[in-house]
C-alpha cells in the first residue's frame, strides 16, 4: 500500500505499548476448555495455515490430543511442522479421496440392493458435482465431532469456500430437522456444534491492511448471521512491534495503525498479534516466533 499522508515522519517505536498480545496468550485461553474445535478463517495468503499449525503444535506440546487438519486444497499443514509430538495428528480433508470413498460406500450399500440397470443409474448419479460436496461435508462433520475428545484445529479454505461450507451446513441442518432418522450423528450435530462457543472457537486471521481486514469483517458478518460468533482476531505479519530505521518500512508500520485500531476498537473482542518474520515460519523455531512474538525475535537476535 502507498504511504499515507502525514506518515512520512513516523517514529519506528510509535504506540508499540498499545498493540495486542502475542498469539501465545490466546492459546492459553483456547486451552482452558480442554477440548473442542479451533478454526482459522480469512482471505487467502494471510497465514491461516501457519497460525493453525502454531496453535495445534503448542496445544499438543502441552499434552492435549490434537488433530490438525485443513479444508484448503492449497494448504500443506504437514510441511510447516518438522517434529510433531506423539499427541499431534496431522492430515487434510482430501476432496478427491473422500469423494471416491463415498462413491464406493454408496455403491456397496445402496447399490447392492439394485439390479444392473439401477446400479448403472446410481453410478451416473454419483458422478454429479454435488457428490463431492456431500462427501467433503460428511468428512468435515466427522472431523468437527472429534473435538469431543480433544482439540481439532482446522485450517479452512479461503473466505468464499468457507461461506459455501457454512451455507451447506445450514442447508443440511434444515434437512436434518426434516428427516433426522436418516442422518449420521456428526451431520445432525454439526451446526449446533459450530454455533456453540464452548465447543467451537473461530479465529479470523488478517493482515494489518485494508483488503484483508475488510474481507474478514464481511466474513464476520456472515458468520454472525449463521449464529457463529468469532472468538478472536489474529493480526499476522505485522511490522508494528518491530523497531526499524528503514524509512519505507517505518511508513508501512505507521500505516498499519489504522487497521490495527479498526480491529481492536471496532471489530473484535480479543486480538492477538504476530510480528512480521524475516523467513517463512516453519519448524519448531519458526512456529515459536509466531507464538511468542517480539520477545522471541529479540532472543533469536533479530
pLDDT at residue number 6: 32
Q: Is the pLDDT of residue 220 over 90?
A: yes
The answer for residues whose C-beta is within 8 angstroms of residue 206's C-beta and 6 or more apart is 42, 43, 46, 212, 213, 215, 216, 233, 234, 235, 236, 259, 263
- Vertex 151, ends 166 and 229: CA angle to 5°? 40
Strand order in the sheet with 271-275: 88-90, 66-70, 151-155, 36-41, 200-207, 232-238, 271-275
Q: Is the pLDDT of residue 235 over 90?
A: yes
pLDDT the model gives residue 47: 92
Judged against a pLDDT cut of 60, whether residue 2 lies above it is answered with no
Query: Residue 158: how many CA atoms within 13 Å on its side-chain side?
Result: 9
Q: Reduce the DSSP state of residue 187 to 3 states and report it.
A: helix
Q: Which of the two residues, 271 and 93, has the higher pLDDT score? A: 271
Pairing of strands 151-155, 36-41: parallel
pLDDT digits (tens, 9 = 90+) for 110-143: 888 899 999 999 899 888 877 877 787 788 889 9
Tell me: the pLDDT tens digits for 12-28? 344 545 788 999 999 99
- 115 DSSP assignment: -
Q: Are 253 and 237 in contact (CB under 8 A)?
A: no
Distances (CA, A) of 271 to 17, 20, 24, 201, 232: 14, 6, 11, 13, 6
Buried b (16+ CB within 10 A) or exposed e, 230-262: bbbbbbbbbbbbbeeeeeeebbbbbbbbebbeb
Q: DSSP 3-state assignment of 23?
A: helix
Can you tell me the distance from the alpha carbon of 163 to that of 167, in angstroms, rounded to the nearest whole number? Answer: 6
Under the banding of pLDDT at 50, 70 and 90, the label for residue 182 is low
Q: What is the mean pLDDT of residues 262-279?
A: 93
Say how far apart CA 68 and CA 54 lie, in whole Å. 10
Rounded mean pLDDT, 146-160: 85
Three-state DSSP state, 235? strand
Q: Which domains does the chain have, with CATH numbers?
A: 16-99+130-299 (3.40.50.300)
List beta partners, residue 154.
Answer: 39, 69
Asked if pLDDT for residue 72 goes beyond 50, the answer is yes
Q: How many CB atoms lie within 10 A of CB 175?
A: 14
pLDDT of residue 273: 96
- Measured CA to CA, the distance from residue 166 to residue 152 in angstroms comes to 18
Q: pTM for this structure?
A: 0.83
66, 60 Cβ separation under 8 angstroms: yes
Amino acid at each position: 500500500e502507498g504511504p499515507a499522508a502525514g506518515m512520512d515522519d513516523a517514529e519506528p517505536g510509535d504506540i508499540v505499548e498499545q498493540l495486542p498480545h502475542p498469539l501465545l496468550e490466546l492459546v492459553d485461553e483456547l486451552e482452558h476448555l480442554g477440548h473442542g474445535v479451533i478454526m482459522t478463517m480469512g482471505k487467502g495468503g494471510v497465514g491461516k495455515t501457519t497460525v493453525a499449525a502454531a496453535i495445534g503444535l503448542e496445544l499438543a506440546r502441552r499434552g492435549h490430543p490434537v488433530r490438525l487438519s485443513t479444508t484448503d486444497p492449497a494448504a500443506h499443514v504437514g510441511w510447516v511442522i518438522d517434529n510433531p509430538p506423539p499427541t499431534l495428528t496431522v492430515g487434510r480433508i482430501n476432496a478427491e479421496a473422500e469423494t471416491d470413498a463415498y462413491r464406493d460406500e454408496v455403491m456397496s450399500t445402496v447399490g447392492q440392493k439394485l439390479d444392473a440397470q439401477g446400479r448403472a443409474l446410481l453410478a451416473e448419479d454419483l458422478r454429479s458435482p454435488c457428490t463431492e460436496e456431500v462427501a467433503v461435508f460428511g468428512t468435515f462433520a466427522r472431523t468437527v465431532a472429534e473435538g469431543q475428545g480433544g482439540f481439532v484445529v482446522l485450517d479452512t479454505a479461503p473466505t468464499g469456500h468457507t461461506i459455501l461450507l457454512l451455507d451447506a451446513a445450514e442447508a443440511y441442518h434444515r434437512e436434518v430437522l426434516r428427516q433426522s432418522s436418516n442422518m449420521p450423528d456428526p451431520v445432525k450435530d454439526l451446526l449446533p456444534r459450530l454455533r456453540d462457543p464452548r465447543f467451537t472457537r473461530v479465529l479470523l486471521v488478517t493482515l494489518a491492511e485494508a483488503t484483508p481486514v475488510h474481507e474478514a469483517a464481511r466474513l464476520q458478518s456472515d458468520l454472525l448471521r449463521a449464529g457463529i460468533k468469532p472468538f478472536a482476531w489474529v493480526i499476522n505479519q505485522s511490522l508494528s512491534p518491530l523497531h526499524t530505521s528503514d524509512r519505507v518500512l517505518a511508513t508501512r508500520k505507521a500505516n498499519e495503525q489504522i487497521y490495527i485500531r479498526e480491529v481492536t476498537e471496532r471489530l473484535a473482542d480479543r486480538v492477538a498479534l504476530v510480528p512480521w518474520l524475516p523467513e517463512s515460519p516453519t519448524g519448531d523455531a519458526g512456529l515459536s516466533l509466531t507464538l511468542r512474538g517480539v520477545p522471541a525475535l529479540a532472543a533469536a537476535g533479530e
